[in-house]
Amino acid sequence: MNRTIRNQNLLKTALCSLAVAFMAAQAGATGDTFKQSAELGKRTGKTSADVDRYVTQLDKTEEAIASISQAPEKDLRKRLESFSREINKLEEAQKHVTSDIDEMKSTGTEYFSSWDTSIAQMSDANLRQASTERRAKVMKDHNDLTATLSDIGLQLQPFMSNLRDLRAFLEADLSSTNIDRAKDMIQKSQSDEQALKDKIVAVQSTLRQFLEETPR
């Protein structure tokens, strides 16, 4: 009799432990989703800020290019040095943007996976359905945004390569004659800059909108 009671008590203790562990796991999953949501918002905000900085630096770099083509012979070296500094700053801004895009994609994947786990733990069908629909919309918006950002990111490197070529050409033989020879490349750079900027400006508002919609 005592052994039976003791076994029953042991069983109750084991079941209680399992229940506590299960509830802790559920709470942990919910907490993870909350943390991932905050992290995605943080990453999106950083991406938005760095994209803004890249556009600002893009303008400064192209202004430096234009100043070279319009400079008198005596000011050429000073203008070229300014252009070189702006290229270096633009390259640094590009590194931040491309890194942000990768981190935003990675954080989004973790967040939506955690959100899916939270949905699976909901017992109320209406809440589960509402959360499922909301997750689908936010995930689509996130995927569309990161795809657009990635497409822009692929265009940054060839644009930067052209700027480096232009700098190397002028540094090797800086003269008004060589600037005339580089006129077509300068014009192409300015045209590419405007096209790139137009694409980025279009996605800047989308970034801000997604940041507002990201669950807190």
Residues 165-209 have pLDDT tens digits of 999 999 998 888 888 999 898 999 889 999 999 989 888 888 888
Is 3 or 162 the better-scoring residue by pLDDT? 162
What percent of the chain is modeled with pLDDT above 70? 84
Residues with Cβ within 8 Å of residue 43, at least 6 apart in sequence: 100, 103, 104, 107
pLDDT at 95: 93
How many folded domains does the chain comprise?
1
In this prediction the pTM is 0.78
pLDDT recorded at residue 70: 84
Give the confidence band of 215 by pLDDT, cuts at 50, 70, 90: low
| Average of per-residue pLDDT across 109-117 | 92
**pLDDT the model gives residue 17:** 34
pLDDT tens by residue, 58-92: 999 999 999 988 888 889 999 999 999 999 999 99
pLDDT of residue 113: 92
The dihedral sign for the CA sequence 141, 41, 51, 93: negative
Instruction: Determine the pLDDT at residue 19.
Output: 34
Q: Where are the alpha helices (DSSP H) in 121-182?
A: 125-172, 176-181
pLDDT of residue 59: 93
Task: Return the CATH number at 74.
Answer: 1.20.120
pLDDT band at 109 (very low <50, low <70, confident <90, very high): very high
| Rounded Cα distance, 35 and 181, in Å | 56
pLDDT in tens, 9-28: 433 433 333 333 333 334 44
Task: Supply the range of the domain harboring residue 10.
Answer: 2-213
> Taking CA 210 as the corner, what is the angle to CA 106 and CA 206, rounded to the nearest 5 degrees?
105
pLDDT for the residue numbered 202:
85
pLDDT at 69: 84
Q: How confident is the model at residue 2 (pLDDT cuts 50, 70, 90)?
A: low
